[in-house]
Amino acid sequence: MIERPALYVVATPIGNLADLTPRALDVLRQVDCIAAEDTRVTGQLLKRMGIDARMLSLREHNEREAAARLIERLAAGEAIAQVSDAGTPAVSDPGARLVEAVHQAGFKVVPIPGASALLAALAAGGMRSPRFYFHGFLEPKTGARQAELATLAGLPHTVAFFEAPHRIADSLADMASVFGGERIAVLARELTKTFETIRRAPLGELAQWVASDSNQQRGELVILIEAAPADTAAGDTEFDSLLKPLLGELPLKQAVKLAAEISGGNRNALYQRALQLKEG
């Protein structure tokens, strides 16, 4: 039995309906109301699963008002499920504002894990960095997108993006230009669906492949880019704001050790940069 009152944040399939977990199915059957990003999309899923449930629209443009109505229902003792069109709610999708409001109102929030395009891509991408930075969607305009990418090029982590199909060719071209065409990347398209494609290659090659094949410019897309090479990070100044105050208070080796733990940066690269700052 589910708890009442409570908000259940339920992950739904990103393609293959068999990825809906038994626990998620049980929750969707028992709740009093389902807050859905698009009630038509969720309605199709519920119909396939034989679930007849009341739904309420929770979209980006109405999330604040919908959250207020849903908190009233929680106060009346109801159990509510929150879903997005596919995958895990509130991850580059509406929902975070509702979850925040429910916490602030003092009601319980229960995650029901399941499908995630981001985690599926990371699992299948073969990126060796133990850390990743999820950026979500990039700016739609070229200049702003390139400036945005420039701030990410030196990160010592795998960088993950979502992208819209009508922008994927331009975004990959900008990534190849900013990150370098030889940087290894993964394009994961239509994960768990009939035309699932996972391709790992240098960014320049990926950009050319997508630009020349319109079939690769369709569906849901995740892009992973490998961490910046250590020799690139060695001369980088992105960690100066962290290193400088640490060097002012601690011995060099201790400052570098702490900076590496905080930032996840390459320790050798940070040590070389710390020496440069000391000498400077």
**pTM of the full predicted structure?**
0.79
Q: What is the mean pLDDT of the chain?
A: 91
Sign for the pseudo-dihedral over CA of 28, 33, 38, 41: positive
Provide the token pair at 259.
Answer: 């900076």
Query: Who has greater pLDDT, 160 or 268?
Result: 160
Using a pLDDT cut of 70, give the percent of the chain over it.
Answer: 97
Superfamily of chain region 118-228: Tetrapyrrole methylase, C-terminal domain (3.30.950.10)
Task: Give 235's pLDDT tier (boundaries 50, 70, 90).
Answer: very low
Are the CB atoms for 98 and 70 separated by under 8 Å?
yes
Rounded Cα distance between 237 and 277, Å, is 10
Class of domain 6-115: alpha beta
Provide the token pair at 16.
Answer: 């293959």
Q: What pLDDT score does 276 carry?
A: 80
Are the CB atoms for 29 and 78 separated by under 8 Å?
no
Q: What is the mean pLDDT of residues 220-240?
A: 76
Query: Quick one: which of 185, 11, 183 has its CA closest to 87?
Result: 11
